[in-house]
């Protein structure tokens, strides 16, 4: 059985849209190494490793100064 890799638009995409954030904003503020490609994949619903999800979460929390959970950003 093959693992489904395309999981559809994720909640993080809507959150970023509402806050008027671009991939560049998350990449720029992150103290960890993330790329525009990682952020794009997160929004489009490509399956990410738990480590990458965590980096995206940390960057979003750093820029918004709000607490989010992985479950609020990703529905898989």
Q: pLDDT tens digits, residue range 22-64?
A: 999 999 999 999 999 999 999 999 999 999 999 999 999 999 9
- Note whether residue 28 is domain-resident: yes
- Note whether residue 4 is domain-resident: no
Report the SS3 class of residue 6.
Answer: strand
- Note whether residue 3 is domain-resident: no
Predicted model pTM: 0.89
pLDDT at 7 over 90: no
Specify the pLDDT at position 35. 96
Q: Is 42 exposed, middle or buried (0-12, 13-18, 19+ CB in 10 A)?
A: buried
Q: Domain containing 26: what range?
A: 11-73
- Note whether residue 1 is domain-resident: no
- Note whether residue 2 is domain-resident: no
By C-alpha distance, which of 69, 13, 22 is closest to 44?
13
Cβ neighbours, 10 Å, residue 71:
9
Q: How many domains does the chain have?
A: 1
């Amino acid at each position: 059985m093959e693992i489904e890799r395309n999981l559809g638009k994720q909640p993080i995409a809507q959150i970023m849209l509402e806050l008027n954030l671009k991939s560049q904003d998350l990449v720029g503020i992150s103290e960890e190494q993330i790329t525009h490609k990682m952020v794009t994949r997160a929004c489009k619903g490509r399956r990410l490793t738990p480590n990458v999800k965590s980096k995206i979460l940390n960057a979003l929390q750093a820029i918004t100064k709000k607490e989010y959970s992985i479950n609020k950003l990703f529905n898989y």
